[in-house]
Chain A
Amino acid sequence: MDINTPVSTIYGNSSEKYGEIWKKQVAELQAKFGTAIEEVRLPREWPVEVPVVYVRKESLIAVLDFLRTAPGFEYGFLADLTATDEEVHPRFEVVYQLLSHANMARFRVKARVAEGEEVPTATALWMAANWPEREVWDMFGISFSGHPHLRRILMDERWVGHPLRKDYPLRGYQIFPDTPAPKAELLDKGDR
């Protein structure tokens, strides 16, 4: 009784519906990108609900762009962008949740990144990636190269530390009584 137990009231059984499509897509990805695909986890073989593809961060944008536009894939919708702290080396995983509006299949791309390393930004592909990337920077301290203006988003700009890291304490409060003044540079050249 785990994630691969089909529950009829939660999307029916999506791996039955999309299983063959996903297998074909993953095989095509591996043929095209070769060693840039580090690892593939398919539903039923792994405790995941959609295929999870681990991509080397150097090829991340090429793979995402291919998934976004290539015929037969068309995962053109970035549903979410986040990260996890795995507490091993490399420490973090940046997670991209993709959705295809063509057949409503989902797909997940992950990139492993060590502490202090940079991930290329996805803002050129989706403007929507702008704030989630800022949030990942804020919460995990993962830097995105090429991001238009990488700065904190949920926490105050004077905050020290990255709260969603596993070694950050649950009650690590920092109090800032006043709101920062308007930033002229953001109002002159824009936020994005």
Chain B
Amino acid sequence: MEMKTGLPTSPHYSIDHDPDDIWGDSRVAVNIGPTHPAMHGALRMVAKVNGETIEQSYCEFGFTHRAKEKLGENRTYHQFIVYTDRLNYCSALVNNVAYAMSVERLMGVSVPERCVWIRMIASEMARIIDHIVCLGIGAVDIGAFSFFLYGFHQREEAYTLIERLCGARLTTSYTRIGGLMGDAPAGWEDDVKAWVKKTRATLDEMDSLLTGNKIWLQRTVGVARFGKEDCLKYSFTGPCARAAGIDIDLRRDTPYMFYDKVEFDVPIAQNGDVFDRYLVRMEEIRQSLNIIQQCAERMRPGPVWSEDKRTRIPEKDLVHNTMEGLIHHFKFFMTGFDVPEGEAYTTVEAANGELGFYICSKGGPKAHRMRIRGPSIYHFQGLTPMTNGGMIADMVAGLGSINIIAGELDR
């Protein structure tokens, strides 16, 4: 009787042929991923391993490719908002804001002040959530579990605030072209301020728990180093570049929204190892909290929608009670609005670095080309040179510290 073994039935595998035993010596090809708890998402690294040391490796991705750029050419500008949530799903709000900004730029639409302040709070909250995820999961990969729990409590609180803003915790779809889905609820600013205060205290606790910890230092200092020159060659941006001494922050250097009206510092470090990336992210959370505090204080009641008739979604009252309103509503959602001809590459400082939308419009309600430049693809490209010659466990630490998000990488 034939036995079912449950082993892979792929033609590569058979009882007398092991495809991983390539060199016939002590070295072996090891598949790390695509589904492995230490790989953040469906990423695959194939490593030539000698004992515990990675001698050479190459990376593969695309396992969660959902053809977002193709969809961008086949959906109206309004319909594409929901797809931007699923890019970097740890900081969906930044993607929403970046996308809305890039379409508004093509159309020359200005949004009112309150809308900008809310967008800034939303982006900074998303940045904090993203950094907490990166640090927490990275620490879990290395073996520090309680650090993760401290951070994740505050993350859940932040998600509750976001839920009050837009009804969703993860896939927010909060921005609209020329405005927001809705205004922040009454008293929301005060809750944000209370959350900022509590998060500051939590952050100090997290800091004292891990930053001076001897085991943590041994696992992170000097590990997965990527210096300044390498970072420039590999187009690193965001905290990973700043950890290597590249003093660039798009919020400060190309001010967008009201970042030139708030005070914050840009932390940089010099060594570009896992520990420096950790320190930079920790300090960035603090600076983001400062920004949120200032935004919440300066926010005033007012409209959140642009007056521009092209992008304004008609009020429900008009839709239900007037013929013109109903037609407007129907036309808006069925055919979409026209974006004038033009092309723009609009970037924001997302949690992990430069997030850019390169949109080419030939007129009409759909984009001609919707290119999404996420930081992850450039960071993941640097993983092989960063970790060659190191241990497998150091590769895991390095991968955790550059925070690859498969949704943004695969698009």
Task: Assess whether A31 is interfacial by the CB under 8 Å rule.
Answer: no
Q: Does A97 contact B (CB under 8 A)?
A: yes
Query: Which residues of the partner chain A approach B78 to less than 8 Å between Cβ atoms?
Result: none
Interface residue A78 (Cβ < 8 Å from any Cβ of B): yes
Q: Does chain A have a CB within 8 A of B326?
A: no
Task: Give every chain B residue within 8 A of A48 (Cβ-Cβ).
Answer: 342-344
Interface check A191, CB cutoff 8 A: yes
Which of A1-9, A21-29, A58-66, A112-120 faces chain B?
A1-9
In angstroms, Cα B7 to Cα A102, docked, is 56
Kindly provide the distance from the CB of A91 to the nearest chain B CB, expressed in whole angstroms. Answer: 13
* A79 engages B360 (CB within 8 Å): no
Kindly supply a per-residue 1/0 record for chain B positions 219-251, scoring 1 wherever the CB is within 8 Å of any chain A CB and 0 otherwise.
Answer: 000000000000011110000000000101000
Residue interface bits B104-140, CB-to-A below 8 A is 1, else 0: 1111111100001000000000000000000000000
B101:A47 contact, CB within 8 angstroms: no
Give CA–CA (A138, B34) in the complex, Å: 20
Quote the shortest CB–CB distance from B167 to chain A (angstroms): 25
Beta-carbon contact of B368 and A7 below 8 Å: no
- Chain B residues with CB under 8 A of A9: 101, 110-111, 116, 256-258
With an 8 Å Cβ cutoff, the count of chain A residues facing the other chain is 61
Query: Given A2-B108, A187-B48, do A182 and B19 touch, yes or no (CB 8 Å)?
Result: yes
Whether A77 and B232, one on each chain, are in contact in the complex, defined by CB atoms closer than 8 angstroms, is yes
Q: Does A84 contact B (CB under 8 A)?
A: yes
Asked whether A104 lies within 8 Å of B253 as measured between CB atoms, the reply is: yes
Q: B46 and A183: CB pair below 8 A?
A: yes
Q: Which residues in A have their C-beta under 8 angstroms from that of B59?
A: 191
**A79, B354: Cβ atoms closer than 8 Å:** yes
Is the C-beta of B384 less than 8 angstroms from some C-beta in chain A? yes
Known contacts A48-B342, A131-B377; A7/B110 CB under 8 A: yes
Least distance between B387 CB and chain A CB atoms (Å) = 13
Question: How far, in angstroms, from A8 to B109 measured CA to CA in the complex?
Answer: 10
B62 within 8 A of A: yes
Contact, CB under 8 Å: B371 / A82 = yes
CA gap between A127 and B231 in the complex, in Å: 10
- Are A11 and B345 within 8 A (Cβ)? no
- Residues of chain A with a CB closer than 8 A to B360's CB: 84
Tell me whether B256 and A11 are in contact (CB under 8 A): yes
Q: Within 8 Å CB of B65, what residues of A? A: 154-155
Chain A CB within 8 A of B146 CB: no
Contact residue among B10, B56, B256 (Cβ-Cβ distance under 8 Å from A10): B256
Structural contact, A79 and B108, CB atoms closer than 8 A: no
Q: Is B287 an interface residue (CB 8 A)?
A: no
Interface flag for B346 (CB, 8 Å):
yes
> Does A188 interact with chain B (Cβ within 8 Å)?
yes
The docked-state distance in angstroms from the alpha carbon of A112 to that of B110 is 34
Give Cα A57 to B208, complex, Å: 56
Cβ contacts A158-190/B at 8 Å (1 or 0 each): 000001101010100000001101111011101
> A8 near B110 (CB under 8 angstroms)?
yes
User: Given that A128-B235, A187-B57 are known contacts, is A97 also in contact with B70, CB under 8 Å in the complex?
Assistant: no
Most B Cβ at <10 Å: residue of A7, A80, A97, A106 = A80
User: What residues on B are CB-neighbors of A14 within 8 Å?
Assistant: 254
A interface list, Cβ under 8 A from B: 1-12, 14, 47-50, 52, 76-80, 82, 84-85, 95, 97, 101, 104, 106, 108, 126-128, 130-132, 135, 139, 153-156, 163-164, 166, 168, 170, 178-179, 181-184, 186-188, 190-192
Excluding A3-B108, A154-B61, A190-B58, 15 further A-B contacts by CB distance (< 8 Å) are A2-B342, A9-B111, A49-B345, A79-B356, A84-B369, A85-B369, A104-B254, A106-B345, A128-B234, A128-B235, A128-B378, A153-B61, A166-B73, A181-B12, A187-B48
